[in-house]
Amino acid sequence: MVTLSIIKADTGGFVGHSAVHPDMVSAAKEALSAAVTDRLLVDGATACCGDDLSLIMTHEHGPDAEAVHSFAWDVFRQTTRIAQQLGLYGAGQDLLSDAFSGNLRGMGPGYAELEFTERPSEPVVCFLADKTEPGAWNLPLYKAFADPFNTAGLVIDSKMHAGFRFEVYDLYEEKRIWFDCPRELYEMLMFIGAPARYVIHSVESKTLHEQAVATSTQRLSLIAGKYVGKDDPVMIVRCQSGLPALGEVLEPFAFAYTAGGCMRGSHHAPMMPVSVRDAHPARFDGPPRVVALGFQVHDGMLIGPRDLFDDPSFDRARAQTNEVMDYLRRHGPFEPHRLPLEDLEYTTMAELEERLAERWQPMPQAAVPAPR
Ligand code: F6R
Ligand code: MG
Ligand code: MG
């Protein structure tokens, strides 16, 4: 069995919240190669999307392993020190605690981990997003694993015809449920269509009994009880041979669907699939970016990556993103561009309510609708 772990954190932005400084990436690379030499890891790579630094690692310790999580924590402490030395923005933003204790749950960094027995050929995609929320993966996962208009294999591949099981988290009440699809498609959509609260955590093939997907599902604002940065999720998707083909996994991103995030984590904005080179949200701190790094995992080694959205066939999605962004931006502080009050990451509402409490007066009688 091999475990693929993506552990990521924003430990300082260059400039503002737009990118990771190259010195931080170099330090993380060195730490990864030392961990491979020390045999903690089989292989490791770094990748960045916006101001988030991801450590992409293979190892034999399983998910939630203390050794791997504490290694990542130490790397992020080191990149925080570099960010502090360079005066980068929000140094150590995602490190919510001073001391590591067992694993990274609730400590700030996000992670997606998937343990599997390597198939003879093991194509995987590591998706990294910036300026959006964990529920941003709901729509593309639904399309790739449950929508026959996206995924031809659901209809014409006998290994996919039985469908997939989706594990969904309720982030507000911290509970989870499994949906058996296609049988329970409509039930599931009622929940995952509200991605600020319900988030797909994993997907499993009903025919192969293989886990195909793992997402990061931490929601920093709820963990910390105050705003500490958007969650900027990552996800691992295994492809082919009875799982959706690579092209079926990427296809949902050809549509510039909107997600919560962008400026101050408080706006709906379209998801822009981009190459690593273009993964630097700038306009209105957005639009949210997503990169897709393809690897062949072989004997635990990460053969790759291929920068999968570095492809002209996603040009239209990028153009559509810019159009949708123009349209939404013209709403300024109005919904649906601005998130509903309960989903805002930043708010002045409590303060305003208190300050204006005395000024509210009953409506004049004429304006009050008569009782029926
Ligand atoms: C959103 C994000 C940015 C910041 C914004 C304000 O996820 O990271 O949009 O929220 O730049 O940042 P502060 O409050 O640090 O000035
Ligand atoms: Mg940041
Ligand atoms: Mg970020």
Q: What is the DSSP string of 67-101?
A: HHHHHHHHHHHHHHHHHHHTT-BTTTTT---SS--
243 inside domain: yes
Hey, whose CA ends up nearest to atom 6 of ligand 1?
A: 264
Q: Best of 8, 15, 17 to mutate for ligand 1, by most ligand atoms within 8 A of CB?
A: 17
Query: Does residue 110 have its Cβ closer than 6 Å to ligand 1?
Result: no
Q: Are residues 11 and 34 in the same domain?
A: yes
What CA–CA distance (Å, rounded) separates 213 from 127? 11
- Residue 277 neighbours by CB under 8 Å, 6+ apart: 307, 310
At 174 the pLDDT is 85
Q: Are residues 153 and 238 in the same domain?
A: yes
Tens-level pLDDT at each residue, the chain (372 residues): 999 999 999 999 999 999 999 999 999 999 999 999 999 999 999 999 999 999 999 999 999 999 999 999 999 999 999 999 999 999 999 998 888 888 898 888 999 999 999 999 999 999 999 999 999 999 999 999 999 999 999 999 999 999 999 999 998 888 999 999 999 999 999 999 999 999 999 999 999 999 999 999 876 555 555 545 458 999 999 999 999 999 999 999 999 999 999 999 999 999 999 999 999 999 999 999 999 999 999 999 999 999 999 999 999 999 999 999 999 999 999 999 999 998 888 899 999 999 999 999 999 986 667 777
Q: Are residues 81 and 175 in the same domain?
A: no
38 inside domain: yes
368 inside domain: no
Per the CB < 8 A criterion, the answer to whether 127 and 290 are in contact is yes
State the DSSP code for 35: H
CA of 247 to the centre of ligand 1 (A): 34
Residue 51 falls in the annotated catalytic set: no
Task: Look at residues 70, 91, 116 and tell me which one is the last residue of a structural domain.
Answer: 116
Query: Does residue 264 have its Cβ closer than 6 Å to ligand 1?
Result: yes
CA of 99 to the centre of ligand 2 (A): 21
Partnered with residue 31 across adjacent β-strands are none
Q: How far is CA 315 from CA 48, 137, 312, 339, in A?
A: 21, 20, 5, 27
Residue 64 falls in the annotated catalytic set: no
Three-state SS for 181-249 is ECCCHHHHHHHHCCCCCEEEEEEEECCCCCEEEEECCCCHHHHHCCCCCCCCCEEEEECCECECCHHHH
Per the CB < 8 A criterion, the answer to whether 224 and 345 are in contact is no
What CA–CA distance (Å, rounded) separates 5 from 115? 9
354 inside domain: no
Task: Report pLDDT digits (tens) over 52-110.
Answer: 999 999 999 999 999 999 999 999 999 999 999 999 999 999 998 888 888 898 888 99
Q: Are residues 152 and 237 in the same domain?
A: yes
Per the CB < 8 A criterion, the answer to whether 289 and 232 are in contact is no
Q: Are residues 127 and 274 in the same domain?
A: yes
Q: Are residues 78 and 161 in the same domain?
A: no
What are the φ and ψ backbone dihedral angles of 68, each rounded to 5 degrees? -75, -45
60 inside domain: yes
Exposure string of 35-57, with b = 16+ CB inside 10 Å and e = fewer, is bbeeebbbbbbbbbbbbbbbbbb
Task: Look at residues 93, 116, 139 and tell me which one is the last residue of a structural domain.
Answer: 116
Q: Are residues 192 and 340 in the same domain?
A: yes
What are the φ and ψ backbone dihedral angles of 4, each rounded to 5 degrees? -105, 120
CA of 317 to the centre of ligand 3 (A): 22
CA of 168 to the centre of ligand 1 (A): 28
360 inside domain: no
Q: Are residues 110 and 139 in the same domain?
A: no
Please count the residues of the chain. Answer: 372
Q: Best of 283, 285, 339 to mutate for ligand 1, by most ligand atoms within 8 A of CB?
A: 285
Task: Look at residues 116, 145, 179 and tell me which one is the last residue of a structural domain.
Answer: 116
At 220 the pLDDT is 54
364 inside domain: no
Q: CATH number for the domain including 70?
A: 3.30.70
What CA–CA distance (Å, rounded) separates 321 from 165? 31
What CA–CA distance (Å, rounded) separates 128 from 323? 23
Hey, whose CA ends up nearest to atom 15 of ligand 1?
A: 90
CA of 47 to the centre of ligand 1 (A): 21
Judge if ipTM > 0.85: yes
Query: How many domains are contained in the chain?
Result: 2
Q: How far is CA 25 from CA 29, 75, 246, 337, 343, in A?
A: 6, 10, 28, 34, 32
Q: Are residues 85 and 166 in the same domain?
A: no
Q: Are residues 4 and 102 in the same domain?
A: yes
- Which residue range forms the structural domain that includes residue 101? 1-116
Q: How far is CA 152 from CA 43, 108, 140, in A?
A: 34, 38, 15
At 98 the pLDDT is 81
Per the CB < 8 A criterion, the answer to whether 74 and 31 are in contact is yes
> Which of 311, 280, 289, 276 lies closest to 45, judged by CA?
276
List the catalytic residue out of 8, 131, 143, 230: 230
Helix or strand run (H / E) with residue 115: strand 110-116
Query: Does residue 131 have its Cβ closer than 6 Å to ligand 1?
Result: yes
Ligand 1 atom nearest residue 51's Cα: 8
Partnered with residue 215 across adjacent β-strands are 235
Three-state SS for 130-199 is ECECHHHHHHHHHHHHHCCCCCCHHHHCCCCCCCEEEEEEECCCCEEEEEEECCCHHHHHHHHCCCCCEE
Q: Are residues 331 and 216 in the same domain?
A: yes
Q: Are residues 90 and 182 in the same domain?
A: no
Task: Report pLDDT digits (tens) over 239-263.
Answer: 999 999 999 999 999 999 999 999 9
List the catalytic residue out of 29, 180, 206, 227: 227
192 inside domain: yes
Beta strand pairing status for 301-307 and 198-205? unpaired
Which residue matches tokens 């209809």? Answer: 155
At 345 the pLDDT is 86
Partnered with residue 345 across adjacent β-strands are none
Residue 198 falls in the annotated catalytic set: no
Long-range contacts of the stretch 335-340 (C-beta < 8 A, 24+): 336/268, 337/267, 337/268, 337/269, 338/266, 338/267, 338/268, 339/196, 339/260, 339/266, 339/267, 339/268
